[in-house]
Structure 1
């Protein structure tokens, strides 16, 4: 049985027409960076809930990165929330896209599309990744440049980390500071390794994938071609993944 608490919106950020973030004051249980909980809205007749990853580090105000789907049952209601409005938050978190699940390695690749970048920002903010890995590469794929959210936060969290790289991709328009095209193509043709000046190897690379299922599936297949395998608790590999929707 889900344990729900009432949260109150402390602030909101509108990134684009459809992308926004909510910072929520809610008495949630401790969680691990990379995990998700559920947000809910209810009327007199029914309650609608969906899973959202924490963007914040554990112990900070809860933050969620949301894409408004106009025909959706929940996100149009979340999109209307303003400071002081209430919503329901499931108290306990879940999910295995966490650093304690990742086998030891040298290079940590965090690859996301869209709002899938949320759990990776939580990891950078929590900070244990800096002790666990020598190199950390955050790769974010979006359609339009305005969808490259959280850039100031990423700079703030990584400004003292010389072995961190942020590599954005924009697929549907030219962008001054982003690579063109899709993450999956850049894995396949070697351009991502070239850009990062790091090769994908089973020995050194640990890859976390989070985003739309097509990107996750295609990236997994391309990484397998380079000798990496999906990580399972019963059989160690190099790739962990989470689908976003």
Structure 2
């Protein structure tokens, strides 16, 4: 059973009308980047809780979450309404196996995300491990509109710190977008457009982590398996590691 800690809201930043980042004050947490905790609020004498990945790297004095405000949701509208100084319950310890520790070595690490699924990848990239283990890292973030491509300043700072290693590819599906690619990740892989943009192939020397829309994950997994990659399991290491985000 999870333990609960009361955390104080530090900030609640809205990127768009529906996308927001909630930052809360917590003692440094010794979790593994890529893991998640639960956020909870007591509503009508009942604790409503949902699992959310941590965006921050381990051992910071805060916890950060990248969320979608679902209009008819039981919890997210309440989280979206939180202001600095308000309280929220956070479960402890963090858990989950969507971590780099579960991923075998490879030449190129592909991080494929949609929407708020980029959150755990930002946590992973905030640690030393990916930069030490992989020669090349490709971060792909797909969204419906360019306004939904959050955390641009953070990603740009990572590119500046690791210019020879990190390639960032934004993908937009519902409007023309000249700063990245247009379409959906599975089709862009199938057409070899994503690989061209990254200047890297996806093969058995790659490691692919995917987080976000279940349809994207399902389609990409099927496509990657047709290309000779296999699902990564502890008993049988492969090249495809997934997080079923909702």
TM-score (norm 2): 0.97
Unpaired runs of at least 5, structure 2: none
> Counterpart of 1:237 in 2: which secondary structure?
coil
Match of 1:105 in 2: 106
In structure 1, runs of 5+ residues without a counterpart are: none
Find the counterpart in structure 2 of residue 186 from structure 1.
188
Corresponding pairs, count: 244
Give the distance between the partners of 1:28 and 1:59, measured in 2 at CA: 4
Superposition pairs for residues 34-113 of structure 1, below 5 Å? 34-60=34-60, 61-113=62-114
SS of 2:126's equivalent?
helix
Contact 1:53/1:119 (CA < 8 Å) preserved in 2?
A: yes
Aligned to 1:166: 168
Partner of 1:159, secondary structure, is helix
RMSD of aligned residue pairs (Cα, Å): 1.0
Question: Partners in 2 of 1:128 and 1:4 — Cα distance?
Answer: 29
Measured against aligned partners, the alpha-carbon deviations of 1:5-61 in whole angstroms (never above 9, x if no partner) come to 001111121100100001111246410011101001112421110010000010111
Equivalent position of 1:125 in the other structure: 126
Distance, in Å, in 1 between the alignment partners of 2:154 and 2:142 is 17
- Cα contact 2:131–2:165 (8 A) shared by 1: no
- SS of the equivalent of 2:80 reads helix
Could you report, residue by residue, the CA deviation over 1:66-100 in whole angstroms, capped at 9, with x for unpaired residues?
00001111001000001111100002111111111
Higher mean displacement: 35-44 or 71-80? 35-44
Distance 2:166 2:237 in 1: 25
Residue 230 (str. 1) matches residue 204 (str. 2): no
Could you tell me which residue of structure 2 aligns to residue 143 of structure 1?
A: 144
1:209 aligns with 2:241: no
Q: Measure the CA separation in 1 of the matches of 2:193 and 2:226.
A: 15
